[in-house]
Amino acid sequence: MRNVVIGFLGTQLDMGKKRRWRPSVQLCGHDDFPVDRLELLYDDEYRRLAHSVEQAIASVSPETEVLLRRMDLADPWDFQEVYGKLFDFARDYGFDEDRERYHVHLTTGTHVAQICWFLLTESRHVPARLLQTGPPRGEDMPAGTLDVIDLDLSKYNALQQRFDLASREYNALLKAGIETRNPGFNALIERIELVATTSDAPMLLLGATGTGKTDLAERIYELKLQRRRVKGRFVQVNCGTLKGDRAMPTLFGRRRGEMGGAGSERRGLLREADGGVLFLDEVDELGVDEQALILHAIESGRYYPMGADHEVTSRFHVIAGANRDLAALVAQGRFRPDLYARLNMWTFTLPALRDRREDIEPNIEYELSRAEKTLGTQVGFNTDAAQKYMRFAKDPATLWPGNFRDLGASVQRLCTLAPRGRVTVKMVEDEITWLTAQWARANENQDAQLVRDVLGDAADGIDEFDLVQLAAVIRACRQSASLSAAGRRLFAASRAQKASRNDADRLRKYLDRFGLTWADVSA
Ligand SMILES: Nc1ncnc2c1ncn2[C@@H]1O[C@H](COP(=O)(O)OP(=O)(O)OP(=O)(O)O)[C@@H](O)[C@H]1O
Ligand SMILES: [Mg+2]
């Protein structure tokens, strides 16, 4: 392969006045980059300089063939002229890529010429790589520097690594720096990152209590702030407390003098979220009237503060969080379908802790360092204590019903009680007993509550034996669309063994024993 360089004669630099550096000459003096042919583009006005460069090259590098190519430019700063002439040059050149390797020397010529070279090589009209040379630095490099610029950005490993690194940082931000291993969770976080940084549309975070929705919403805001998608504040609205008379002034604000003249002016949460993020936490708790108010405000970004006679405008990104399945609430007529449609653009469901057991260990470490920070002391588990706790935490029978809230509180308790900063096996055993009892009691309470919901005071007359069973039946009914569906689910095993004929009838008879019908137990 012959090595060919194409470049402009440098009308200033190639005179060699500056540090005796003549780029087109020195270019040919690199032992590790032998130039077989140099195509030197020159303007007739500089014919003498071109010849002098040719001679100089002959003495530094006799094996280099120099071809002087005349290219007169009325104005070397005129983009159209330079591009047109170079384009014609490239078209007529007859590149032979099987035999020759081409480079374009960028160091000489005007900036306009550099841009034209860039465009022509990028579009492969000139099948060359770009060369940049620099003056000698010190004795050991008499020919100066020479760098090949490879335009294929995908090959720029370093750049790619920077993108990856940035993405890892944003991921780490969303995960609070916890090295989670669950593939489903990690994929979820990646999607959230992508949506948070490329879209202004509402995001909906679903998930059981304590799965980290509120925490995540704040981190999404941090990410949007870092990526300059928002510049305002993070404003959290607890929808459970937005009820009745308080809802309007809290959201929309109030003009001074409203309500008998004594009230003070309030900006309202929507106004405070202007340019930032409005987080509608527990949006499933919103009453129907409040749903209408919110929908209008987030759709138009305009509303009237109480007592005001002109509208105000506020623009914000919306994130909503909910414990319950909003689609089911819509089906039951308890949530407005139009508000749901508005929020349900990007919906993410956070998994329960028990469904990502491989993340329990890193999460315990995270909770541990959090507890250390609050307590201001270092705490560690004794080896046997750590093993015992980890086995319990990861056991499929351990459900962690309160998710991170339970886990965080448990670690915090252990750390607080640890004598001289060591958690012992005995302490872990006590903690496990306590948690198990706590969860069992919560379950009993829930069962009792469920049965009481349906039976009223008659629940008092029911044996514990029946109560547990009835609670499970009610739960199944509430999650099923019809009596037959609930029956199929509750008697699935008998059905598979063909021991049961009519599931619906069997369920109807069971409910009847307590004086209940399908209408009483279905949601
Ligand atoms: N990824 C996590 N790892 C460890 N702890 C977490 C994580 N996410 C949240 N937490 C902690 O768990 C607790 C509950 O989190 P958060 O309040 O965000 O849950 P939530 O889903 O909003 O619950 P709820 O629906 O009950 O409001 C908080 O103390 C929070 O700091
Ligand atoms: Mg929350």
Ligand 1: residue whose CA is nearest its atom 28: 405
Identify residue 484 by its one-letter amino acid code.
S
The secondary structure of residue 308, as a DSSP letter, is: -
Evaluate: CB of 366 within 6 angstroms of ligand 1.
yes
Q: Could you tell me the distance, in angstroms and rounded to a whole number, from the CA of residue 375 to the centre of ligand 2?
A: 24
| pLDDT, tens digit, 9 for 90 and up, residues 239-251 | 988 887 888 888 8
| Contact in structure between 190 and 163 (CB atoms under 8 Å) | no
Give the whole-angstrom CA distance, residue 53 versus residue 46: 11
Q: Work out whether strand 128-134 and strand 100-105 pair parallel, antiparallel, or are unpaired.
A: parallel
Evaluate: CB of 402 within 6 angstroms of ligand 1.
no
pLDDT band with cut points at 50, 70 and 90 for residue 299: confident
- pLDDT above 90 for 290: no
Q: State which ligand 1 atom lies nearest to the alpha carbon of 217.
A: 18
Give the whole-angstrom CA distance, residue 273 versus residue 301: 11
- pLDDT above 80 for 441: yes
Domain edges within the chain: 2-151, 160-349, 353-444, 462-522
Q: Does the 353-444 domain belong in CATH 1.10.8?
A: yes
Q: Same CATH fold, 160-349 and 2-151?
A: yes
Closest CA to 320 of 207, 177, 173: 207
Evaluate: CB of 173 within 6 angstroms of ligand 1.
no
Q: Could you tell me the distance, in angstroms and rounded to a whole number, from the CA of residue 387 to the centre of ligand 1?
A: 25
- For domain 160-349, give the CATH number: 3.40.50.300
pLDDT band with cut points at 50, 70 and 90 for residue 264: low
What is the number of other CB atoms lying within 10 angstroms of the CB of residue 517?
11
Give the whole-angstrom CA distance, residue 42 versus residue 70: 5
Give the whole-angstrom CA distance, residue 332 versus residue 384: 51
Q: Could you tell me the distance, in angstroms and rounded to a whole number, from the CA of residue 406 to the centre of ligand 2?
A: 14
Q: State which ligand 1 atom lies nearest to the alpha carbon of 350.
A: 21
pLDDT band with cut points at 50, 70 and 90 for residue 521: confident
- Give the ligand at the shortest distance from the Cα of 350: 1
The secondary structure of residue 309, as a DSSP letter, is: S
pLDDT band with cut points at 50, 70 and 90 for residue 257: low
- For domain 2-151, give the CATH number: 3.40.50.10770
Give buried/exposed letters for 141-167 (b at 16+ CB in 10 A, else e). eebbebeeeeeeeeeeeeeeeeeeeee
Using DSSP's 3-state secondary structure scheme, residue 144 falls into coil
Ligand 1: residue whose CA is nearest its atom 5: 404
Report residue 448 as tokens.
Answer: 């009792």
Q: Could you tell me the distance, in angstroms and rounded to a whole number, from the CA of residue 169 to the centre of ligand 2?
A: 24
**Which of 214, 237, 360 most suits a substitution to test ligand 1, by most atoms within 8 Å of the C-beta?**
214
* Average predicted confidence (pLDDT) for the chain: 89
Ligand 1: residue whose CA is nearest its atom 15: 212
Q: What is the pTM of this model?
A: 0.65
Report residue 431 as tokens.
Answer: 């903690």
Partners of residue 68 on adjacent β-strands: 40
List Cα–Cα distances, 491 to 324, 470, 483, 495, in angstroms: 27, 14, 12, 6
